[in-house]
Structure 1
Amino acid sequence: MPLNASLPRRDAPFKLGATALLLVDMQRIWLEPGLDPDHADWGPDHYFYRQTREVAIPNQQALLRAARASGVEVLHTIIQSLTEDGRDRSLDHKLTPIHIPPSLEAGLPPKRLAPVGDEILLPKTSSGVFNSTNLDYLLKNLSIEHLVVAGILTDQCVDMTVRDGADRGYLVTCVADACAAPTPERHSGALKAFGGYCWVAEAAEVVARFEALGRDAAA
């Protein structure tokens, strides 16, 4: 028998009580035109804002509704320093520079994507959430095996989350139409580049799986 004969597929069915949804960096400062000082020239009709507003966010809302109704664990991560002056942030964020102080309201998720109840919100100061938070520790405490990822940017923080999650032993799903990048080329190129680390799925497929978990729980 081949050594990998008993290993699960990347698109293996989600398990009840072992599946989590993670939204990456869905913050007002990146999502609302005029708030990001590095992209002051991007108007409301820029591809990124249209894509997040018309496609990624509605799909994330559908994912959140289905996850919450089905008992899927929901977590959020945002770029945010622990200190007002950002002295705790990574060297990379200091050099870039990226600094979102904890007092900045625009650094929080918009109301339609905000954590509900006791959903976990993790501030990070690196591209990869596994590198600057205790996410791995939390997921293991929660007995998570399947990690479903959506957010921005597809070719940066989402990319790092997918690869790092796979390296740490999670079955990762990336919801392609619930992610976005500044250009369609960057988005599609990223999905092709890290697709070998995860199951690349559409929101409708993942919502259906979440709903099936809910039916299993009610049975």
Structure 2
Amino acid sequence: MSADIRRDAPFRKGETALLLVDMQRIWLEPGLDPHHPERGPDHYFYRQVNEVAIPNTEKLLKAARENGVEVLHTIIQSLTRDGRDRSLDHKLTPIHVSPDLPEGLPPENLGPKGDEILLPKTSSGVFNSTNIDYLLRNLGIRYLVVCGVLTDQCVDMAVRDGADRGFLVTCVSDACASITPERHEGALNAFGGYCHLADTEAVIAKFATMEA
């Protein structure tokens, strides 16, 4: 492992992963979220996702794949059709995405390619309801780059939990989105102490100049 343990340290080949959080159709496409039918295409969230977060995520994916960065995806998805395996919080909310629901998967432009790992989760925190910690350590990952939705919920949890488990976390601020700009900015300000905050272009530059 590298001796440089600054949060903004250069990434290293074979030790860097990009994690996409909940970039799945049910949350990204207007009209698919059953709990918020009132949010139309002109809602701030959908505009921000389609005009900023998704284009930047596409750029990150391209750069990661071109430079040998490990790519992982996590989505909210129950293991059972009736959701009996969900966390208590998801049962109370309620949040349930059946494993046979097509809109529960990422759109084609954001989905896994080749043998990239897709992890279904039933809690806000990917470290709490998947084996991602085990996987990242098996893969030799030290530098974890996070983007996705929602900034103040599942992204927040990935950043904080990743930092607590000893990963050097970078959050790509302009490849994340939340329901309002205030919630997005508030979250970045709140968890910024646990990670390095950087924009898409800065992260792409670091992918391109990774140290061996």
State TM-score, norm by structure 2: 0.97
User: Given the alignment, which residue of 22, 25, 33 partners 1:25?
Assistant: 22
* Secondary structure of the structure 1 residue equivalent to 2:18: strand
Identity level (%): 74
CA separation in 2, counterparts of 1:58 and 1:39?
Answer: 24
User: Given the alignment, which residue of 59, 63, 86 partners 2:56?
Assistant: 59
The equivalent residue for 1:75 is 72
Matched, 1:106 2:103: yes
Matched, 1:161 2:180: no
CA separation in 1, counterparts of 2:16 and 2:48?
Answer: 27
Q: CA deviation at 1:128?
A: 0.3
User: Given the alignment, which residue of 104, 121, 127 partners 2:124?
Assistant: 127
* Secondary structure of the structure 2 residue equivalent to 1:101: coil
The equivalent residue for 1:203 is 200
Map 1:110-189 → 2, pairs under 5 A: 110-189=107-186
CA separation in 2, counterparts of 1:7 and 1:14?
Answer: 10
Aligned length: 210
Matched, 1:88 2:65: no
* Secondary structure of the structure 2 residue equivalent to 1:178: strand
CA separation in 2, counterparts of 1:91 and 1:39?
Answer: 21
User: Given the alignment, which residue of 8, 13, 18 partners 1:11?
Assistant: 8
The CA RMSD measured in Å over matched residues stands at: 1.0
Q: CA deviation at 1:38?
A: 1.2
Q: CA deviation at 1:39?
A: 1.1
Q: CA deviation at 1:7?
A: 6.2
| Deviation sequence 1:90-125 (CA, Å, 0-9, x none) | 000000000000000000001110100000000000
Amino acid across the alignment from 1:211 = A
* Secondary structure of the structure 1 residue equivalent to 2:209: helix
Runs of 4+ in 1 over 3 A off after TM superposition: none
Q: CA deviation at 1:44?
A: 0.3
The equivalent residue for 1:3 is none
CA separation in 1, counterparts of 2:206 and 2:8?
Answer: 11
